[in-house]
């Protein structure tokens, strides 16, 4: 029998559609040398049915009908408590609440007790906080595609949110003939997915520094600002660490493209050809047209309405949002991940060579050093959060002047 061959490793997105599709437990998930999850076929169990191949969004293309004209919105929740606890404007929570009110199930990325990221399903609004906020680590989808399919077969609504490759994997796994009338998909416009391996070593670095276990972590803490967010780690001894995206070693490596999954650098979803019914992103450089459209640095989502299903649902939840339709070129212009994928760092090969030889601590001064900052911003960081509020107030005043000009 001719054995099934999965897609090439450098093109594998780690969506795990193949793992969910296999009915013979012939596919297991292992970590490669960079810590990314990849499928592995047990040839003694494989029967060559090719369900894994048909489910793979790299090997099999399934057309996803879209609106002839994508609609774009700037949006955020009326409820400021929800906005404060969200990475951007809390639009995901509004959509999730709509699904839960219909006795549905919501799938998304969550930290477990060890701060590892995996997809879980929740059916209680009190558990939604587990899925809020960005996780800049690739999530382990596990068997969530299979479980979502069972709920859909029971006639329940399912909201599935994830990276576009994960949503494409779900669409392929379900296939064109499956009834998706109660499925709503939400893809996140992402920079790329970092490896869990580096995140684990980064946490160990913080734990050694603070001499305590990390008990909670946020990649997008808004205590000081949404425009200029911080990472925040809370420790078992009560201490807290705040790191800016200019200074934190994990964020520097992430944004310098040292440890993204290789397939992210050739991502076909880094465009307006989105696989989700809806897409959400940060709406950077947002400009209000009227005074009532101001946001005041609370957090703003860019929402792309891609399909009829997405439009029906978004039109229903707009009453719970400040939502302003915008020309599609506005979110595209300020979000590179809608225009193309990020190329790998020219030093990526050297980074991994040094990582394997010397470990994480060695890499910090060589690759993960702070971004250069102007003297004024350095002083503000050094003085603490009150001057930081002043800095962001100045930014908002200048933005308002720009909007009026």
Instruction: Please give the average per-residue pLDDT across 34-52, as a whole number.
Output: 93
In the chain, % of residues over pLDDT 70: 90
- CB half-sphere exposure, 349, CA atoms < 13 A: 1
Pairing of strands 230-235, 214-221: antiparallel
State residue 386's pLDDT score.
43
Q: In this predicted structure, what is the pLDDT of residue 398?
A: 46
How high is the pLDDT of residue 378? Answer: 52
pLDDT at 288: 76
For the ranges 9-23, 65-79, 291-305, the lowest mean pLDDT is seen at 291-305
pLDDT at 344 over 90: yes
SS3 of residue 265 by DSSP: helix
User: What pLDDT is attached to residue 292?
Assistant: 64
pLDDT above 80: residue 64 = no
Give me the mean pLDDT over the 26-35 stretch.
96
> What pLDDT is attached to residue 402?
44
> Average model confidence (pLDDT) for the chain?
90
Q: How much is the pLDDT for 36?
A: 97
Q: What is the pLDDT of residue 231?
A: 96
In angstroms, the first-to-last Cα distance of the chain is 70
Q: Quick one: which of 187, 206, 190 has its CA closest to 198?
A: 206
Spell out the domain ranges in the chain. 71-193+260-338, 196-259+342-371, 372-405
Q: What is the pLDDT of residue 374?
A: 57
71 in helix, strand or coil?
strand
Tokens 């005074």: give the residue: 291
Q: Above 50 in pLDDT, residue 40? A: yes
Confidence label for 11 from pLDDT (cuts 50, 70 and 90): very high
225-266: pLDDT as tens digits: 888 889 999 999 999 999 998 999 999 999 999 999 999 999
- Kindly state the helix (H) or strand (E) to which residue 101 belongs, with its residue range: helix 91-101
Quick check: 269 pLDDT over 50?
yes
Query: Is the model's pLDDT at 385 over the cut of 50?
Result: no
Rounded Cα distance between 314 and 23, Å, is 36
pLDDT in tens, 138-195: 999 999 999 999 999 999 999 999 999 999 999 999 999 999 999 999 999 999 999 9
pLDDT of residue 4: 73
Instruction: Convert the pLDDT of each residue in 192-208 to its tens digit.
Output: 999 999 999 999 999 99
Helix (H, G, I), strand (E, B) or coil at 234: strand
Residue 224's pLDDT is what?
Answer: 83
Paired tokens of 119? 């997809």
Residue 98 near residue 74, CB atoms below 8 Å? no
Q: Report pLDDT digits (tens) over 92-119.
A: 999 999 999 999 999 999 999 999 999 9
pLDDT band at 400 (very low <50, low <70, confident <90, very high): very low
Spatial separation of the C-alpha atoms in residues 292 and 403, rounded to whole Å: 13
Q: Does residue 377 carry a pLDDT above 80?
A: no
Tell me the two tokens of residue 390.
Answer: 């002043």
155: left (phi over 0), alpha (psi -120 to 50) or beta: left
Residue 403 has pLDDT above 50, yes or no: no
What pLDDT is attached to residue 375?
53
User: Measured between alpha carbons, how far is 196 from 260 in angstroms, rounded to an integer?
Assistant: 10
> Is the pTM value of this prediction over 0.85?
yes
Taking residues 265-282, what's their average pLDDT? 96
pLDDT at 172: 96
In this predicted structure, the answer to whether residue 314 has a pLDDT above a threshold of 60 is yes
């Amino acid at each position: 029998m001719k054995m099934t061959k999965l897609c090439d490793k450098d093109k594998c997105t780690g969506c795990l559609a193949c793992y969910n599709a296999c009915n013979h437990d012939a596919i297991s998930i292992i970590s490669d040398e960079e810590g990314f999850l990849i499928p592995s076929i047990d040839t003694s169990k494989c029967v060559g049915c090719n369900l894994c191949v048909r489910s793979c969004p790299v090997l099999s293309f399934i057309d996803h009908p879209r609106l002839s004209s994508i609609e774009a919105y700037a949006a955020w929740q009326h409820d400021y408590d929800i906005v404060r606890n969200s990475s951007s404007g809390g639009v995901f929570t509004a959509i999730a609440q709509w699904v839960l009110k219909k006795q549905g199930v919501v799938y998304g990325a969550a930290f477990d007790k060890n701060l590892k990221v995996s997809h879980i399903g929740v059916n209680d609004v009190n558990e939604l906080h587990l899925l809020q906020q960005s996780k800049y680590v690739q999530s382990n989808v596990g068997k969530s595609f299979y479980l979502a399919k069972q709920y859909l077969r029971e006639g329940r609504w399912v909201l599935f949110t994830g990276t576009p490759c994960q949503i494409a994997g779900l669409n392929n796994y379900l296939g064109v003939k499956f009834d998706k009338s109660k499925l709503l998909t939400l893809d996140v416009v992402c920079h790329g997915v970092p490896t869990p391996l580096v995140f684990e070593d980064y946490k160990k670095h913080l734990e050694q520094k603070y001499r305590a276990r990390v008990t909670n972590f946020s990649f997008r803490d808004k205590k000081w600002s949404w425009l200029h967010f911080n990472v925040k780690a809370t420790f078992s001894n009560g201490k807290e660490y705040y790191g800016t995206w200019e200074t934190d070693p994990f964020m520097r490596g992430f944004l310098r493209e040292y440890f993204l999954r290789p397939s992210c650098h050739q991502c076909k979803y880094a465009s307006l050809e989105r696989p989700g019914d809806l897409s959400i992103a940060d709406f950077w450089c947002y400009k209000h047209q009227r005074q009532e459209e101001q946001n005041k640095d609370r957090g703003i989502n860019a929402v792309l309405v891609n399909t009829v299903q997405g439009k029906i649902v978004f039109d229903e939840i707009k009453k719970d949002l400040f939502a302003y339709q915008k020309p599609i070129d506005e979110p595209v212009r300020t979000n590179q991940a809608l225009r193309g994928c990020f190329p790998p760092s020219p030093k990526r090969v050297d980074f991994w060579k040094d990582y394997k030889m010397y470990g994480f601590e060695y890499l910090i001064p060589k690759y993960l050093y702070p971004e250069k900052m102007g003297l004024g911003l350095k002083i503000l960081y050094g003085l603490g959060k009150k001057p930081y509020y002043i800095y962001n107030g100045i930014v908002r005043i200048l933005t308002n002047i720009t909007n009026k000009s």
